[in-house]
Amino acid sequence: MAFELPQLPYSYDALEPNFDARTMEIHYSKHHAAYTSKLNDVIKGTEYENLSIEELLVKGYDIPAIRNNGGGYYNHCLFWEILSPEGGGEPEGELKDLINNSFGSFENFKNEFSNAAATRFGSGWAWLCLKDGKLEICSTPNQDNPLMPNECGGYPILGLDVWEHAYYLKYQNRRPEFIEAFFNLINWNKVQERLNN
């Protein structure tokens, strides 16, 4: 069964001025679309064809074309899902309590997450994961993610793409400004939904 590029839940320009429309268009319609089609090409007619994306990330880990394109497919699906033009602010309820219990405060969480994203050398992702009943922050290289073997582990409920293709047109080398802009777009209700899954 082929994987499908999910519909973006907002228009390309909806996340302005934090994420610019041109970057969103290229990121979604070129980068994410390419990961999706390459993943479908590489699994077609193989033993991997009918696995779920989560199963592929584990069972295809040693095959670079599956690891890279499967990770790229999954990671961007998550990324679009947890952004919103009405995002930003701080979480409420259960998620707020879990962040406070895990990091002491929202401010501490934001600082630690931002630091993980800023210091990921080269291309990769920063993650907030549920692990053993607590939240943890980590980062991974390339299109790896916490569900893969030998990565940081846990279930990712929030992810930030720090590849240059995610920010270079608007922010050039100013990755910390892009990270700050990301926090203006986080849809905490969607993050809470992932926590419930």
Q: How far is the CB of 101 from Mn ion (least distance, A)?
A: 31
Which residue sits closest to Mn ion, CB atoms considered? 161
Q: Tell me the C-alpha distance between 2 and 135, whole Å.
A: 32
- The interface mask with Mn ion, positions 2-31, x = CB under 5 A, is ------------------------------
The answer to whether residues 56 and 66 touch, using CB atoms and an 8 Å cutoff, is: yes
Return the number of the residue (151 or 161) whose C-beta is nearest Mn ion.
161
Return the number of the residue (123 or 192) whose C-beta is nearest Mn ion.
123
Q: How far is the CB of 23 from Mn ion (least distance, A)?
A: 10
The answer to whether residues 192 and 41 touch, using CB atoms and an 8 Å cutoff, is: no
Q: Tell me the C-alpha distance between 111 and 9, whole Å.
A: 28
Instruction: Please give the residues from 152 up to 171 whose contact with Mn ion meets the rule CB under 5 A.
Output: 161, 163
Q: How is residue 179 annotated by DSSP?
A: H
Interface with Mn ion includes 144 (CB under 5 A)? no
Counting other chains too, the contacts that 103-109 makes at CB distance below 8 Å and 24 or more residues apart are 103/135, 109/135, 109/137
Q: How far is the CB of 162 from Mn ion (least distance, A)?
A: 9
Residue numbers at the binding site for Mn ion (CB under 5 A): 161, 163
